[in-house]
Amino acid sequence: MKKDTFSGFHPVVNMLYFVFVIGFAMILNHPLYLGVSLVSAVIYSIYLKGKKGIRFQLLCLLPLMIITMLLNPLFSHQGVTILTYFPNGNPLTLESILYGIAAAVVLITIITWFGCFNEIMTSDKIIYLFGRVIPALSLVLTMALRFVPRFLSQIKQITNARKCIGQGVQEGSMRKRIRHGIKILSVLVMRSMEHSVDTADSMKNRGYGLPGRTEFSIYYFDRRDKYVLVFLLLCGAGIIAGLVSGSLKFLYYPAFGSVILKGTQNVFYIAYVLLCLLPLFINVKEDLKWKSLNRVSPFKT
């Protein structure tokens, strides 16, 4: 992971940010809001993951988006603008296509945001936030979140080790290959089970979740956290106000509503744009500062 300044903020700030962006991505359906959320999620994901992020976007999410997009008009025939008719006699409407696109955008936006969430909200942050409130659940959660990447790295290790003794999945007849594959899987399962039992025992021995147990954490809630938190709360409150007042409501059916924002809607929109782009602002600002400091650094000359 690239050095990310936003992840250095207090876990409460990180968590609140993701609660807001993911929650609003689910609730808001105005096309402009969807667009902003999608763009900032994709940029942030690429910023965090680099080349891997781009590959994931193109190979996994783009096809997923296209499939989701195409499915809606096949099953929904609502809408005032009839383009043509399906062979069975139901109409293909412009509104159903647009709604399909919107639903697909929501889906991949949320997946992308969760990808960022995984990068930022490491297990220690989750334990820090929820360890005292819901100890068992947060432990399970961190273990589960850790499970897939651990599995992947271990499978690599075991495969390499088996290859060294001539029992890799590429060697021998079909039957042997299958046998080798099963062996790798069995080792993998055994190892991860043992590991989870170890973890559970270890946490128990340390008195995890017991009353009166103190915890060490490296997190400080300093001034910049305060500013960002206030900013987040203001943006969030503004958007929630917009939602409650109903001015963020957007209709796809029966007729596609007007995309143009009017009056106070612009205020809500600006709040949403700032909210979504917040980590990028922080990171870019920090990067620029780092560069400018380097330029005048006496050590470099």
Contact flag: residue 247 with other proteins (CB under 8 A): no
Task: Give 237 or 255: the residue with its C-beta nearer to other proteins.
Answer: 255
Report the nearest approach of other proteins to the CB of residue 78 (Å): 6
Q: Of the listed pieces 43-51, 78-86, 141-149, 279-287, which binds other proteins according to CB under 8 A? A: 78-86
| Choice from 51, 87, 89, 295 touching other proteins (CB under 8 A) | 89
Task: Give 75 or 216: the residue with its C-beta nearer to other proteins.
Answer: 75
Contact flag: residue 91 with other proteins (CB under 8 A): yes
Contact flag: residue 183 with other proteins (CB under 8 A): no
Contact flag: residue 253 with other proteins (CB under 8 A): yes
| Choice from 255, 259, 270, 293 touching other proteins (CB under 8 A) | 255
- 89 dihedral zone (left: phi>0; alpha: psi -120 to 50; beta): left
| Choice from 27, 62, 189, 251 touching other proteins (CB under 8 A) | 251
Q: Of the listed pieces 15-23, 82-90, 130-138, 165-173, which binds other proteins according to CB under 8 A? A: 82-90
Q: Which tokens in the block code for residue 300? A: 């470099």
Report the nearest approach of other proteins to the CB of residue 98 (Å): 15
Report the nearest approach of other proteins to the CB of residue 93 (Å): 7
Report the nearest approach of other proteins to the CB of residue 267 (Å): 24
Contact flag: residue 90 with other proteins (CB under 8 A): yes
Contact flag: residue 77 with other proteins (CB under 8 A): yes
Contact flag: residue 74 with other proteins (CB under 8 A): no
Packed helices 94-120 and 31-49: angle between N→C axes, nearest 10 degrees: 30
Binding site for other proteins (CB under 8 A): 77-80, 82, 85, 88-91, 93, 251, 253-255
